[in-house]
């Protein structure tokens, strides 16, 4: 089983137009890329799935457990666009603190933090203060925070924003190594983040899903005559123009 959104509607205020309307979404195995233009509702979908905000209507569940439950929050990890460092905490303390917030006991969170950091290949920064890390390193800390409490679902809101091409490649390699154990939903504006290792693609436009299928399903929308190396961009553009 997995995270399931059923008939979800969400608006930022009673008199505002809904950002999402009657949305049905089921997160599949592996790595899913969530594409969409500004204002499409990508961040809102992730916030609902992360139990950060409740839908105005509809339900969000994991294996039948409501998003309101501790069981749900323990199993689902969310990494927002901006990760705020805490100058008073080292990297290990930061990760352990998040584990404790997710319901772990203090000793268990402290002992598991190094293993989580090793999995994202920044174990050597364990004693570094978080305010001394680069943006790319902070994003790895964010992933470690998800791994420390053994999340089954990882929600990433534009994690590659601001990264150079090499940093994006390294980060995608990291996700490719994790997707065997964790279901991952990663939103992005950049179709370049649609790497070979993405198993599924969801395209959101104007608050509704235009496509939710395999990477092959997505690329099948590439127009004939598209230049080599631009298939993903062509498919994305074609889908948005069809709305």
Which residues are within 8 A (CB) of 164 and not within 5 positions of it... i.e. 6 or more apart? none
Confidence of residue 62 (pLDDT cuts 50, 70, 90): very high
Q: pLDDT of 120-147, one tens digit each? A: 889 999 999 999 998 888 888 988 888 8
Of the CA atoms within 13 Å of residue 205, those in its CB half-sphere come to: 12
Q: Which of 4-8, 28-32, 78-82, 220-224 is least confident? A: 78-82
Query: Would the pLDDT of 200 be above 70?
Result: yes
E-assigned strands of the chain? 3-10, 20-26, 31-35, 57-62, 65-66, 76-79, 153-157, 183-188, 200-205, 208-214
Element (H, E) at 138: helix 135-148
**β-pairing verdict for 208-214 and 200-205:** antiparallel
pLDDT at 82: 81
The mean pLDDT of the chain is: 90
Q: Is 149 or 9 the better-scoring residue by pLDDT?
A: 9
Confidence band, pLDDT 50/70/90 cuts, at residue 6: very high
Torsion sign (Cα): 236, 237, 238, 239: positive
Supply the pTM of this predicted model.
Answer: 0.88
Q: What is the pLDDT of residue 196?
A: 64
- Give the residue with greater pLDDT, 39 vs 184: 184
Which of 181, 175, 126 is CA-nearest to residue 152?
181
Domains, the chain, in order of start with CATH, read 3-82+152-241 (3.40.50.300)
**172 three-state secondary structure:** helix
Instruction: State the DSSP code for 11.
Output: -
- Between strands 200-205 and 153-157, the pairing is unpaired
The encoded tokens of residue 37 equal 């233009």
C-alpha to C-alpha distance for 169 and 163, rounded to whole angstroms: 9
Q: Which residue, among 35, 24, 37, has the nearest Cα to 219 in the 3D structure? A: 35
Strand pairing class (57-62; 31-35): unpaired
CA 182 – CA 76 distance, rounded (Å) = 10
């Amino acid at each position: 089983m997995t995270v399931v959104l059923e008939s979800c509607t969400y608006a930022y205020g009673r008199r505002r137009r809904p950002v999402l309307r009657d949305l049905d979404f089921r997160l599949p195995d592996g790595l899913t890329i969530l594409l969409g233009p500004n204002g499409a509702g990508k961040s809102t979908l992730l916030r609902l799935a992360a139990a950060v905000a409740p839908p105005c209507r509809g339900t969000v569940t994991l294996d039948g457990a409501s998003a309101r439950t501790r069981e749900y929050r323990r199993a689902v990890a969310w990494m927002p666009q901006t990760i705020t460092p805490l100058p008073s905490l080292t990297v290990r303390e930061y990760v352990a603190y998040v584990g404790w917030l997710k319901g772990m006991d203090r000793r268990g969170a402290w002992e598991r933090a190094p293993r989580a950091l090793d999995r994202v290949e920044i174990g050597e920064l364990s004693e570094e203060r978080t305010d001394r890390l680069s943006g790319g390193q902070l994003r790895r800390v964010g992933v470690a925070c998800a791994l420390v409490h053994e999340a089954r679902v990882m929600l990433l809101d534009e994690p590659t924003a601001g990264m150079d091409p090499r940093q994006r490649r390294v980060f995608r390699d990291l996700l490719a190594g994790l997707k065997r154990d964790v279901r991952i939903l990663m939103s992005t504006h950049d179709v370049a983040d649609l790497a070979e290792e993405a198993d599924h693609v969801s395209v959101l436009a104007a608050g509704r899903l235009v496509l939710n299928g395999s990477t092959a399903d997505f690329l099948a929308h590439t127009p004939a005559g598209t230049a080599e190396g631009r298939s993903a961009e062509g498919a994305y553009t074609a889908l948005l123009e069809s709305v």
